[in-house]
Chain A
């Protein structure tokens, strides 16, 4: 349990970089996100560059992880154990994608946008939290 008290500091740094990355990449803007999903209209490929940059760097992190026995501030790596592609994964992802397309927001950008104090993003986050709580309360929870 060494250094675990520093975990919130690491999380704050990671969250800040994440929010800055979203702001820089233009992905806080629902119009840009919907532009990427608008393959039958005026397609905006920006999101593919954001995802490409993020995945490339994260893959470097995965390569680093394989040479470590445990994380620097925790006892073990918490990686998803499930490998089966089940109905919950597909149906849940399909529902998520519908909301993502309709609003142009996914959880990260929605939360980061709260800093701008815009009313629609406040409403979105309130209903997103309600959706999460509804799922965890009335459907099978996902403790991890």
Chain B
């Protein structure tokens, strides 16, 4: 087996040095009869070529996003990632290293985490950011738990514009902790009266902008009302590129900001691995979950970086920890931070502008199709259409015509009476030809 360096001769020598007759002598603690006598019912070892054949066949059965005009978003977005990014994240020293618990030989990882934290704080307009969470949805769940710790209250109010999967993750996590979750009804037009839900029992209000239907929301009045009642505002985003063009949550006085960073540097990967972003006001620092990287000096006085404030974490505090989280999204963070470094402020602003311009163009084209109504007043690179037919059927018919035309709201919210809504995303990857193909196919289908 190509990955196993020991030879049979080595194995014999090593058993002799240990002083046991055979390998099973080392498994003597396995209870009688529980050591497997027969091989597992699975195929035997395969060479590279054969593995490539098998997996290649599986992969070929899927329609890749780059193989069709592609307008699917709703929490994960197809963007162009510079070639430099994937090259760098495959460098051995990044790819095959561990959590930087030995900082003297992990300064590479630690320095990029410090740079990443600085980038996230700047992007979100917040004071501190952690070194990432699993993804946007789990970051949101953790943010709600953190708000419960900060306020000593146990009721979270979730906007009807929050991505339904995020709502479900929060409900699951908070439900297990016996906390109360008030999830408002799906809010297609961003006109819910969330202010009326905030009272003195409320620990936090969770609002997404751009929301799952693409609407941009003003968080300032919600922050003000929350603060007046001693509650926190948790701002959520699923499209981090939007921060290059819209007001940051920090500027609207959010207390905690969480989101999905997949758009920058990371592939779609059928939903994972992604990169959860988490930032907060510094007064809540010690209640934050996840890892934090900090600057310090070495014994010669040189600047260096370490993981810090780990007394919040499970490996020190055990059942008193701020979270049970151990792993983060290290390599996805690296992809994010390299791509963001390449972009810089100028590149991110331009990228956001192009996304928005393309989406505006497409929205106007689609709104001209018979049986289509655009529902958004404002949007960034994603919007919602009301169709004259059920969106799930429309999407299947579009796929038959070779166009991947968005996400039916009913796929995220079955039984909510939103069967005629289609959520459409448009990024820098889409060309005028893609848009024309989409419009033509939709006109035929409707």
The finding on whether chains A and B are genuine partners in a shared complex, rather than unrelated, reads: no
Residues of A within 8 A of B (CB): none
